[in-house]
Structure 1
Amino acid sequence: MIPEHETFDGTWPFPARYCEAAGFRQHYVDEGPRRGGETLVLLHGEPTWGYLWRHLVGPLSRQHRVVVPDHMGFGKSDTPPGRGYLADEHVDNLEQLLVGELDLHGITLVLHDWGGPIGTGFALRHPDRVSRILATNTVLPLGLPGYAELMQHNFADSSWFRWARAAHADGTLEVLLGNAGHTITHLMLALQTITRPQILTPTWVRAYSAHFTGRAQCRGVIRFPQQLVAPDPDAPAPAPPDPAAVAALRGKPALLVQGMRDTALLPRYTVPAFRLGYHSAPVVELPQAGHFTPEDAPETLLALLDLFLQTT
């Protein structure tokens, strides 16, 4: 866990807040006015934390309330033992924070990577609390026909998943991810793709590696890919989402901002997957951005989010 007051040379100046409603110490930031603006929840994925959104939090919070949680096992949140670190458990944790602790309504979800499935899981439980969704280099699993096939094709073609499958097969996946403090730059730059390597300063590397001080602190970063390449054969199949909740979410304004040089979630599959749920919603393609659009194109993403808020 990253220390509470760590700012990484002033690049993460936001006061830390903590919630223990889910049985562990979950970090989040909560910036901006409580009245008069929108409420935005920004969700990170693998292997990042709230730091991913650092370029957006300050500008957005001048007019809007901005909540940025760290998932269990990432950033300034605890990595408790004895947890499964599966997607549904992260949804449970998010529900405890956004509903039980903060009681948020009128939420604009801004979702990246695993933040997409986690945020979608939350939205399906509480469609009445969600106003709109901006997805960037992620997927929104709504249980619609054709989605599973697109994800299977991505799983077969993606550089990230090909590596993860091979590493699991030869027994090195847990070793490499269990040393994420040392391997994170390679994971993000090469396997998922960052198109602006000049941003990889010593401060940047320290910010993304600081949580992963040992194997015990890497449970979260190991389990995200592991649940896909090595699913538990005895685990019960997930229940299909409530059709009424799916219909309610499909009626919300949505926007996909797609970094086209993503080598983990390939645009030729993720864009059609988004279209399954949102036939006429806008899709903005960023030709020079990779998987991490908040790193490769933060100004563009901020402008698109501002326009999305103004026009929906």
Structure 2
Amino acid sequence: MIPGDETFGGTWPYPARYTEAAGFRQHYVDEGPRDRGHAVVLVHGEPTWGYLWRHLIGPLSRTYRVVVPDHMGFGKSATPADRSYLADEHIHNLETLLVDVLDLDRITLVLHDWGGPIGVGFALRHPERIARIVATNTVLPLGLSGYDELMAANLADSAWFQWACAAHAEGSLEEVLGNAGHTVAHLMLALQGITRPEIITPTWIRAYADHFTSRGECLGVIRFPQQLVAPDPDAPASVAADPSAVAALRAKPAMLVEGMCDTALLPRYVIPAFRAAFPDAPVIELPGAGHFPQEDAPDTLLALIDLFLKTT
């Protein structure tokens, strides 16, 4: 767990806030005006934390309340040893923070990577609290026809999952991810796609690596890919989404901003999956960005989100 007062050379100036409502010490950022009903919630994925959104938090919070949680096992949140780290558990943690602790409504969800399934899982439980959805290099599992086939094709085709499947088969997946403090920058650059390697400074590496000080601190980063390449046969079966909740979400304004150089979630599968769910929603392709538009094209992503907020 990264210390609460760590700013990484001033690149992360946001005061740390904590809650233990979900049974562990969860960190989140809460910036901007509190007297507005609207909240923009930025949800990260694998293997990042709230630091991913650092270029967007300040500008957006001048107008909107901006909430940025760290998932259990990432960033400044704790990594309890007695948790499964399955997606449903992360959904419950997000629900506890946004509903029980902060009681947010009129939420704009901005979702990346595993933040997509986690954010959608929350939204399906509380569609009345959702105002808009912004997806960036992620997928939104709503139980629609054709989605599973697209995701299976991505699993077979993407560099990240080809490596993860091979590493699991040879028994090295947990070893590599269990040493994420040393491997996380390489995984992000080589297997997920960052098109601006010049941003990878010692401070940048430290910001993404500092949580992963031991194998015990890497439980979260290990478990996300394991759920796809080595699913637990004893894990609880997924519950089918409520059709009325799905319909309610599909009626919300939505937008996909897609880094087209992504080598983990390939645009040729992600874009059709999004369009099947939101056929009339805008899809903006960023030809020069990889899996992390927040790193490769932060100004463009910020401008697109700001325009979306102002026009929907």
Which bin holds the TM-score, normalised by the shorter protein?
over 0.9
Per the alignment, residue 35 of structure 1 pairs with 35
Once the two structures are superposed, residues 213-239 of structure 1 have per-residue CA deviations (whole angstroms, 9 ceiling, x without a partner) of 000000000000001100012334211
One-letter identity of the residue aligned with 1:26: Q
Deviation at 1:247?
Answer: 0.2
**Residue 260 of structure 2 corresponds to residue 256 of structure 1:** no
SS of residue matched to 1:207: helix
Once the two structures are superposed, residues 182-239 of structure 1 have per-residue CA deviations (whole angstroms, 9 ceiling, x without a partner) of 0011100000010000000110000000000000000000000001100012334211
SS of residue matched to 1:30: strand
Alignment of 1:237-248 (within 5 A): 237-248=237-248
Alignment of 1:56-205 (within 5 A): 56-205=56-205
Equivalents in 2 of 1:242, 1:2: separation in Å? 38
Equivalents in 1 of 2:114, 2:221: separation in Å? 11
SS of residue matched to 2:145: coil
Once the two structures are superposed, residues 230-261 of structure 1 have per-residue CA deviations (whole angstroms, 9 ceiling, x without a partner) of 00123342111000000000000000000000
Contact 1:71 1:77 in 2 (8 A): yes
SS of residue matched to 2:300: helix
Contact 2:38 2:64 in 1 (8 A): yes
Equivalents in 2 of 1:24, 1:133: separation in Å? 27
One-letter identity of the residue aligned with 2:20: E
Equivalents in 2 of 1:153, 1:115: separation in Å? 20
Contact 2:106 2:130 in 1 (8 A): yes
- The 4+ residue runs of structure 1 with deviation greater than 2 A are 35-38, 234-237
| Structure 2, gaps ≥5 residues long | none
Once the two structures are superposed, residues 33-90 of structure 1 have per-residue CA deviations (whole angstroms, 9 ceiling, x without a partner) of 0124731000000000000000000000001100000000000000001100010000
Contact 1:106 1:130 in 2 (8 A): yes
Equivalents in 2 of 1:18, 1:124: separation in Å? 25
Per the alignment, residue 25 of structure 1 pairs with 25
Contact 2:37 2:106 in 1 (8 A): no
One-letter identity of the residue aligned with 1:77: S
Deviation at 1:102?
Answer: 0.3
Equivalents in 1 of 2:288, 2:107: separation in Å? 29
Equivalents in 2 of 1:97, 1:38: separation in Å? 16
Contact 1:37 1:63 in 2 (8 A): no
Equivalents in 1 of 2:108, 2:81: separation in Å? 32
Equivalents in 1 of 2:255, 2:40: separation in Å? 14
One-letter identity of the residue aligned with 2:48: T
CA RMSD of aligned residues (A): 0.7
Equivalents in 2 of 1:105, 1:231: separation in Å? 34
With over 3 angstroms needed to count, the CA separation of the structure-2 counterparts of 1:102 and 1:36, relative to structure 1, is: closer
SS of residue matched to 2:255: strand
Equivalents in 1 of 2:34, 2:233: separation in Å? 45
Equivalents in 2 of 1:232, 1:98: separation in Å? 28
One-letter identity of the residue aligned with 1:82: D
Per the alignment, residue 216 of structure 1 pairs with 216
Contact 1:259 1:286 in 2 (8 A): yes
- The two structures have a TM-score, normalised by structure 1, of 0.99
Deviation at 1:150?
Answer: 0.3
SS of residue matched to 2:24: coil
SS of residue matched to 1:190: helix
* Identity in percent: 75
SS of residue matched to 1:96: helix
Once the two structures are superposed, residues 13-48 of structure 1 have per-residue CA deviations (whole angstroms, 9 ceiling, x without a partner) of 000000100000000000000124731000000000
Equivalents in 1 of 2:91, 2:239: separation in Å? 14
